[in-house]
Chains A and B, each alone.
Chain A
Amino acid sequence: MTSVIQSPGASTSLADVLNIVLDKGIVIDAFVRVSVIGIELLTIEARIVIASVDTYIRYVEAMQQLGSLPRRTAPALPAPSPVAVYPQPVVPPVETT
Protein backbone atom coordinates (compact mmCIF):
# COMPACT_ATOMS: atom_id res chain seq x y z
CA MET A 1 0.00 0.00 0.00
CA THR A 2 1.33 3.43 -0.86
CA SER A 3 1.20 6.07 1.80
CA VAL A 4 -1.10 9.02 1.27
CA ILE A 5 1.91 11.17 2.00
CA GLN A 6 3.78 11.41 -1.26
CA SER A 7 7.55 11.40 -0.94
CA PRO A 8 9.22 14.36 -2.59
CA GLY A 9 11.14 13.24 -5.64
CA ALA A 10 11.01 12.94 -9.37
CA SER A 11 7.22 12.77 -9.38
CA THR A 12 6.91 16.10 -7.60
CA SER A 13 5.93 18.75 -10.12
CA LEU A 14 8.40 21.54 -10.73
CA ALA A 15 5.69 23.99 -9.69
CA ASP A 16 5.47 22.28 -6.31
CA VAL A 17 9.24 22.26 -5.97
CA LEU A 18 9.48 25.97 -6.68
CA ASN A 19 6.62 26.65 -4.31
CA ILE A 20 8.56 24.94 -1.53
CA VAL A 21 12.03 26.25 -2.31
CA LEU A 22 11.81 29.73 -3.79
CA ASP A 23 12.08 32.57 -1.32
CA LYS A 24 12.02 30.13 1.58
CA GLY A 25 14.76 29.08 3.94
CA ILE A 26 17.09 30.98 6.19
CA VAL A 27 18.76 34.02 4.72
CA ILE A 28 22.24 34.93 5.88
CA ASP A 29 22.95 38.45 4.78
CA ALA A 30 26.62 37.94 4.06
CA PHE A 31 25.95 35.37 1.35
CA VAL A 32 25.34 36.31 -2.21
CA ARG A 33 22.08 35.02 -3.53
CA VAL A 34 22.08 34.40 -7.22
CA SER A 35 18.91 34.88 -9.12
CA VAL A 36 17.30 31.90 -10.67
CA ILE A 37 16.88 32.02 -14.39
CA GLY A 38 14.14 30.43 -16.41
CA ILE A 39 11.32 30.80 -13.94
CA GLU A 40 8.35 32.66 -15.25
CA LEU A 41 6.86 33.81 -11.98
CA LEU A 42 4.73 36.38 -13.75
CA THR A 43 3.06 33.67 -15.76
CA ILE A 44 2.32 31.75 -12.62
CA GLU A 45 0.79 34.79 -10.95
CA ALA A 46 -1.33 35.61 -13.99
CA ARG A 47 -2.73 32.11 -13.95
CA ILE A 48 -3.61 32.45 -10.28
CA VAL A 49 -5.65 35.57 -11.05
CA ILE A 50 -7.49 33.80 -13.86
CA ALA A 51 -8.20 30.86 -11.57
CA SER A 52 -9.59 33.27 -8.94
CA VAL A 53 -12.02 34.86 -11.35
CA ASP A 54 -13.06 31.44 -12.49
CA THR A 55 -13.72 30.42 -8.89
CA TYR A 56 -15.74 33.56 -8.19
CA ILE A 57 -18.01 32.88 -11.14
CA ARG A 58 -18.36 29.27 -10.10
CA TYR A 59 -19.40 30.29 -6.58
CA VAL A 60 -21.90 32.88 -7.82
CA GLU A 61 -23.54 30.38 -10.16
CA ALA A 62 -23.65 27.67 -7.52
CA MET A 63 -25.22 30.11 -5.03
CA GLN A 64 -27.85 31.14 -7.55
CA GLN A 65 -28.76 27.55 -8.12
CA LEU A 66 -29.10 27.14 -4.38
CA GLY A 67 -31.36 30.19 -4.26
CA SER A 68 -33.62 29.17 -7.13
CA LEU A 69 -34.08 25.53 -6.24
CA PRO A 70 -35.80 23.97 -3.27
CA ARG A 71 -33.19 23.03 -0.66
CA ARG A 72 -32.05 19.40 -0.44
CA THR A 73 -32.23 19.02 -4.20
CA ALA A 74 -29.50 21.57 -4.60
CA PRO A 75 -27.01 20.42 -7.14
CA ALA A 76 -23.62 19.48 -5.90
CA LEU A 77 -20.78 21.74 -6.81
CA PRO A 78 -18.51 20.47 -9.49
CA ALA A 79 -15.75 18.68 -7.66
CA PRO A 80 -12.80 20.92 -6.99
CA SER A 81 -9.66 19.75 -8.67
CA PRO A 82 -8.03 17.34 -6.23
CA VAL A 83 -4.65 18.99 -6.27
CA ALA A 84 -4.57 22.74 -6.46
CA VAL A 85 -1.14 23.60 -7.69
CA TYR A 86 0.38 26.28 -9.82
CA PRO A 87 -0.28 26.53 -12.62
CA GLN A 88 -3.86 25.68 -12.04
CA PRO A 89 -5.95 23.83 -14.58
CA VAL A 90 -8.78 25.84 -16.04
CA VAL A 91 -12.09 24.61 -14.68
CA PRO A 92 -14.94 24.91 -17.19
CA PRO A 93 -17.75 27.16 -15.94
CA VAL A 94 -20.78 25.59 -14.30
CA GLU A 95 -23.60 25.02 -16.75
CA THR A 96 -26.79 26.71 -15.68
CA THR A 97 -30.11 25.23 -16.59
Chain B
Amino acid sequence: MTLLLYGIVRADHPLPPGLRAVVAGDLAVVVSDIGSSAELAAEDARAHLNVLCGLVVDGPILPLRFGSMAPDDQAVRDSALLPNAAAVRLELDRLTGMVEVRVQLAFDETAALEALADTDPDLAQPITGFDAAIARGRRIADHVKEWSRQRSGELLGGLSTAMVRLDEPDDGTQHWALLVRHDEIHRVAESIAAMPSTVTATALGPLPPYAFASLPTRTPSRWGFD
Protein backbone atom coordinates (compact mmCIF):
# COMPACT_ATOMS: atom_id res chain seq x y z
CA MET B 1 0.00 0.00 0.00
CA THR B 2 1.33 3.40 -0.95
CA LEU B 3 -0.08 6.75 0.08
CA LEU B 4 -0.17 9.78 -2.16
CA LEU B 5 0.09 12.94 -0.08
CA TYR B 6 -1.72 16.21 -0.73
CA GLY B 7 -1.28 18.63 2.10
CA ILE B 8 -1.23 19.30 5.82
CA VAL B 9 -4.45 20.49 7.45
CA ARG B 10 -6.04 20.70 10.87
CA ALA B 11 -7.41 17.38 12.10
CA ASP B 12 -11.01 18.60 11.86
CA HIS B 13 -10.76 19.67 8.22
CA PRO B 14 -13.73 18.30 6.21
CA LEU B 15 -12.65 15.87 3.48
CA PRO B 16 -14.34 14.85 0.23
CA PRO B 17 -14.91 11.16 -0.52
CA GLY B 18 -11.86 9.25 -1.74
CA LEU B 19 -9.51 11.02 0.59
CA ARG B 20 -8.67 10.33 4.20
CA ALA B 21 -6.71 12.00 6.92
CA VAL B 22 -3.68 10.63 8.72
CA VAL B 23 -4.12 12.30 12.09
CA ALA B 24 -1.62 13.10 14.79
CA GLY B 25 -3.10 15.22 17.55
CA ASP B 26 -4.69 18.37 16.12
CA LEU B 27 -2.96 18.02 12.75
CA ALA B 28 -3.50 15.77 9.76
CA VAL B 29 -2.10 14.97 6.34
CA VAL B 30 -4.63 14.46 3.56
CA VAL B 31 -3.80 11.28 1.67
CA SER B 32 -5.24 8.86 -0.84
CA ASP B 33 -4.43 5.17 -1.12
CA ILE B 34 -3.01 4.39 -4.53
CA GLY B 35 -2.08 0.75 -4.21
CA SER B 36 1.35 0.05 -5.57
CA SER B 37 1.30 2.12 -8.73
CA ALA B 38 4.11 4.61 -8.38
CA GLU B 39 3.78 6.47 -11.62
CA LEU B 40 2.06 9.77 -12.15
CA ALA B 41 1.08 11.41 -15.38
CA ALA B 42 0.44 15.00 -16.29
CA GLU B 43 -3.29 14.59 -15.79
CA ASP B 44 -2.65 13.49 -12.20
CA ALA B 45 -1.29 16.97 -11.61
CA ARG B 46 -4.71 18.33 -12.48
CA ALA B 47 -6.36 15.91 -10.04
CA HIS B 48 -3.85 16.92 -7.36
CA LEU B 49 -4.56 20.61 -7.86
CA ASN B 50 -8.32 20.00 -7.88
CA VAL B 51 -8.07 18.25 -4.52
CA LEU B 52 -6.10 21.11 -2.99
CA CYS B 53 -8.40 23.76 -4.46
CA GLY B 54 -11.38 21.90 -3.02
CA LEU B 55 -9.75 21.75 0.40
CA VAL B 56 -8.50 25.32 0.67
CA VAL B 57 -11.98 26.82 0.60
CA ASP B 58 -12.81 24.97 3.87
CA GLY B 59 -9.75 25.98 5.81
CA PRO B 60 -6.01 26.40 5.68
CA ILE B 61 -3.84 23.82 3.94
CA LEU B 62 -0.10 23.59 3.45
CA PRO B 63 0.32 22.03 0.02
CA LEU B 64 2.89 19.25 -0.22
CA ARG B 65 4.97 18.75 -3.34
CA PHE B 66 3.09 16.92 -6.08
CA GLY B 67 4.23 13.32 -6.23
CA SER B 68 5.12 12.95 -2.54
CA MET B 69 4.46 9.42 -1.38
CA ALA B 70 4.77 7.51 1.86
CA PRO B 71 4.65 3.78 2.56
CA ASP B 72 2.15 3.92 5.44
CA ASP B 73 0.34 6.09 7.99
CA GLN B 74 3.07 5.86 10.59
CA ALA B 75 5.67 7.19 8.15
CA VAL B 76 3.41 10.16 7.45
CA ARG B 77 3.03 10.92 11.17
CA ASP B 78 6.71 10.47 11.87
CA SER B 79 7.96 12.62 9.01
CA ALA B 80 5.35 15.26 8.31
CA LEU B 81 3.52 15.93 11.55
CA LEU B 82 5.46 15.05 14.66
CA PRO B 83 8.78 16.78 13.91
CA ASN B 84 7.17 19.96 12.56
CA ALA B 85 4.05 20.28 14.69
CA ALA B 86 4.77 23.72 16.13
CA ALA B 87 5.79 25.21 12.79
CA VAL B 88 2.82 23.63 11.04
CA ARG B 89 0.40 25.10 13.59
CA LEU B 90 1.92 28.55 13.13
CA GLU B 91 1.63 28.33 9.35
CA LEU B 92 -1.96 27.06 9.49
CA ASP B 93 -2.89 29.90 11.86
CA ARG B 94 -1.22 32.48 9.63
CA LEU B 95 -2.99 31.17 6.52
CA THR B 96 -6.44 30.72 8.05
CA GLY B 97 -9.01 32.39 5.83
CA MET B 98 -6.42 33.12 3.17
CA VAL B 99 -6.20 31.90 -0.41
CA GLU B 100 -3.78 32.49 -3.26
CA VAL B 101 -4.81 34.28 -6.43
CA ARG B 102 -2.50 34.29 -9.43
CA VAL B 103 -2.59 37.33 -11.63
CA GLN B 104 -1.03 37.80 -15.03
CA LEU B 105 -0.69 41.31 -16.32
CA ALA B 106 0.03 42.12 -19.96
CA PHE B 107 0.69 45.77 -20.66
CA ASP B 108 0.34 47.93 -23.71
CA GLU B 109 4.04 48.70 -23.82
CA THR B 110 3.82 51.65 -26.22
CA ALA B 111 4.22 54.11 -23.36
CA ALA B 112 7.28 52.25 -22.06
CA LEU B 113 8.87 52.19 -25.51
CA GLU B 114 8.17 55.88 -26.12
CA ALA B 115 9.77 56.83 -22.82
CA LEU B 116 12.75 54.64 -23.69
CA ALA B 117 13.08 56.22 -27.16
CA ASP B 118 13.27 59.62 -25.46
CA THR B 119 15.89 58.69 -22.89
CA ASP B 120 17.98 56.47 -25.15
CA PRO B 121 17.44 57.47 -28.81
CA ASP B 122 20.22 55.14 -29.95
CA LEU B 123 17.92 52.20 -29.31
CA ALA B 124 15.62 53.51 -32.03
CA GLN B 125 18.36 53.75 -34.67
CA PRO B 126 18.42 51.33 -37.59
CA ILE B 127 20.35 48.17 -36.90
CA THR B 128 21.65 45.38 -39.09
CA GLY B 129 22.52 41.84 -38.27
CA PHE B 130 20.54 39.23 -36.40
CA ASP B 131 22.83 39.01 -33.37
CA ALA B 132 22.95 42.78 -32.93
CA ALA B 133 19.19 42.99 -33.23
CA ILE B 134 18.73 40.26 -30.62
CA ALA B 135 21.18 41.97 -28.25
CA ARG B 136 19.34 45.25 -28.62
CA GLY B 137 15.99 43.54 -28.27
CA ARG B 138 17.16 42.01 -25.02
CA ARG B 139 18.19 45.44 -23.72
CA ILE B 140 14.81 46.86 -24.64
CA ALA B 141 13.09 43.88 -23.04
CA ASP B 142 15.02 44.52 -19.80
CA HIS B 143 13.77 48.11 -19.76
CA VAL B 144 10.22 47.03 -20.50
CA LYS B 145 10.42 44.47 -17.70
CA GLU B 146 11.57 47.06 -15.22
CA TRP B 147 8.75 49.35 -16.28
CA SER B 148 6.17 46.53 -16.14
CA ARG B 149 7.39 45.47 -12.71
CA GLN B 150 6.89 48.99 -11.41
CA ARG B 151 3.43 49.26 -12.97
CA SER B 152 2.46 45.88 -11.50
CA GLY B 153 3.47 47.01 -8.05
CA GLU B 154 1.30 50.11 -8.43
CA LEU B 155 -1.70 48.14 -9.69
CA LEU B 156 -1.55 45.19 -7.30
CA GLY B 157 0.05 46.74 -4.24
CA GLY B 158 -3.11 47.49 -2.30
CA LEU B 159 -4.98 44.31 -3.11
CA SER B 160 -3.35 41.71 -0.93
CA THR B 161 -1.76 40.86 2.39
CA ALA B 162 1.35 39.66 0.64
CA MET B 163 2.47 39.30 -2.95
CA VAL B 164 5.23 37.45 -4.73
CA ARG B 165 6.47 37.89 -8.28
CA LEU B 166 6.51 34.42 -9.78
CA ASP B 167 7.79 34.74 -13.21
CA GLU B 168 8.80 37.37 -15.65
CA PRO B 169 8.83 36.05 -19.18
CA ASP B 170 10.55 38.07 -21.87
CA ASP B 171 7.31 39.10 -23.50
CA GLY B 172 6.75 41.77 -20.87
CA THR B 173 3.95 40.00 -19.02
CA GLN B 174 4.10 39.86 -15.26
CA HIS B 175 3.01 36.91 -13.16
CA TRP B 176 2.22 37.49 -9.50
CA ALA B 177 0.81 35.45 -6.64
CA LEU B 178 -1.35 37.38 -4.20
CA LEU B 179 -2.31 36.19 -0.74
CA VAL B 180 -5.84 37.45 -0.16
CA ARG B 181 -8.59 36.86 2.33
CA HIS B 182 -11.03 34.35 0.88
CA ASP B 183 -14.01 36.45 1.89
CA GLU B 184 -12.52 39.46 0.09
CA ILE B 185 -11.83 37.74 -3.20
CA HIS B 186 -14.73 39.57 -4.83
CA ARG B 187 -13.24 42.89 -3.84
CA VAL B 188 -9.99 41.81 -5.48
CA ALA B 189 -11.91 40.77 -8.59
CA GLU B 190 -13.56 44.17 -8.74
CA SER B 191 -10.20 45.90 -8.46
CA ILE B 192 -8.80 43.77 -11.25
CA ALA B 193 -11.83 44.48 -13.43
CA ALA B 194 -11.37 48.20 -12.80
CA MET B 195 -7.78 48.27 -14.06
CA PRO B 196 -7.05 50.66 -16.93
CA SER B 197 -7.62 49.45 -20.47
CA THR B 198 -3.87 49.55 -21.20
CA VAL B 199 -3.39 46.46 -19.08
CA THR B 200 -4.90 43.06 -19.74
CA ALA B 201 -5.30 41.14 -16.51
CA THR B 202 -6.18 37.49 -16.08
CA ALA B 203 -6.52 35.89 -12.70
CA LEU B 204 -6.88 32.38 -11.34
CA GLY B 205 -8.12 31.49 -7.89
CA PRO B 206 -8.82 30.57 -5.18
CA LEU B 207 -5.70 28.42 -5.08
CA PRO B 208 -3.88 26.80 -2.17
CA PRO B 209 -1.14 29.11 -0.89
CA TYR B 210 1.70 27.60 -2.90
CA ALA B 211 3.73 30.78 -2.95
CA PHE B 212 3.24 31.55 0.74
CA ALA B 213 3.33 28.31 2.72
CA SER B 214 6.65 27.07 3.96
CA LEU B 215 8.16 25.12 6.79
CA PRO B 216 11.64 25.70 8.17
CA THR B 217 14.04 23.31 6.53
CA ARG B 218 15.64 21.04 9.08
CA THR B 219 19.23 20.14 8.65
CA PRO B 220 19.34 16.38 9.06
CA SER B 221 21.67 15.17 11.71
CA ARG B 222 24.81 13.62 10.34
CA TRP B 223 24.23 10.63 12.59
CA GLY B 224 20.67 10.08 11.52
CA PHE B 225 19.03 11.31 14.72
CA ASP B 226 18.40 14.71 16.23
Contact = CB atoms under 8 A, between A and B. Distances in A.
A21 interface: yes
Interface in A34-81: 34-39, 48, 51-53, 55-60, 62-64, 66-68, 71, 74, 76-77, 79-81
Interface residues of A, number: 59
Contacts of B205: 5-8
Contact of A31 (B5, B104, B117): B5
B171 A21 contact: no
Interface residues of B, number: 81
B78 interface: yes
Interface of B: 5, 7-8, 38-46, 48-50, 53, 62-70, 75, 78-80, 101-102, 104, 106-110, 113-114, 116-117, 121, 123-127, 133-134, 136-138, 140-141, 144, 169-173, 175, 185-186, 188-189, 192-193, 200-207, 210-211, 213-215, 220
Contact of A37 (B40, B68, B109): B40
Contacts of A76: 108, 110
Contact of B169 (A25, A36, A48): A48
21 contacts: A8-B206, A14-B43, A14-B46, A17-B45, A18-B42, A29-B220, A32-B68, A37-B39, A56-B137, A56-B138, A57-B137, A59-B113, A59-B140, A62-B110, A64-B125, A66-B113, A71-B114, A74-B114, A77-B109, A77-B110, A80-B106
A28 B80 contact: yes
B45 A18 contact: yes
A20 B166 CA distance: 10
Contacts of A88: 169, 171
A72 to B, nearest CB: 9
B117 A38 contact: no
Given A33-B65, A56-B140, A63 B124 contact: yes
